[in-house]
Amino acid sequence: MKKLILVRHGKSSWEYAVSDRDRPLLERGINDAILVSNTLVEQAIEIDAIFSSPANRALHTCTIFLRQLYLPLSKLELRDELYDFSGNEALKMIKSIADDFNTVMIFGHNHAFTHIANSLGNSYIDNVPTSGLVELNFNVNSWSLITKGTTQQIIFPKQLK
């Protein structure tokens, strides 16, 4: 059994003259990431590995989750393939994850994450919002074999306010 937890980065700011990769989170983005990660804390899911886009907003969201879930930085790997907006590169990366990892959390971007959630899950999601989390389960032993799985849970900040 493989479990994939997709987390879209928190709400980011457009007010700074920086590259897209360097855009920071807004305070709302930080607060929403804390809300969603605290909900995950209550579930005590054991996470084997964490992968994040190197974009500032995704990595900051990821570090909030790491801190709230008491996960060590040693479980984190930055992956350029997650700085993807179509979902094609991110999906290739997911299918290449080492099979000794059963539960993986990834941090990235839309439209990629909405596309992946809808392609691999069994529930339609119109849009994964910022700080939104989608958990997908697959009844396979290898990441390379994942196709259609089960949408186990969806946690969006709006539900928690």
| Residue closest to 61 by CA, chosen among 159, 129, 160 | 129
Distance CA 20, CA 2 (A): 32
The predicted structure's pLDDT at residue 75: 96
Q: Where are the domains of the chain?
A: 2-160
The predicted structure's pLDDT at residue 135: 98
pTM as predicted: 0.96
Q: What is the mean pLDDT of the chain?
A: 96
The pLDDT tens digits for 36-92 are 999 999 999 999 999 999 999 999 999 999 999 999 999 999 999 999 999 999 999
Q: Are strands 150-155 and 133-138 parallel, antiparallel or unpaired?
A: antiparallel
CATH 3.40.50.300 is held by the domain 2-160: no
Q: Residue 161's pLDDT band (boundaries 50, 70, 90)? A: confident
Element (H, E) at 86: none
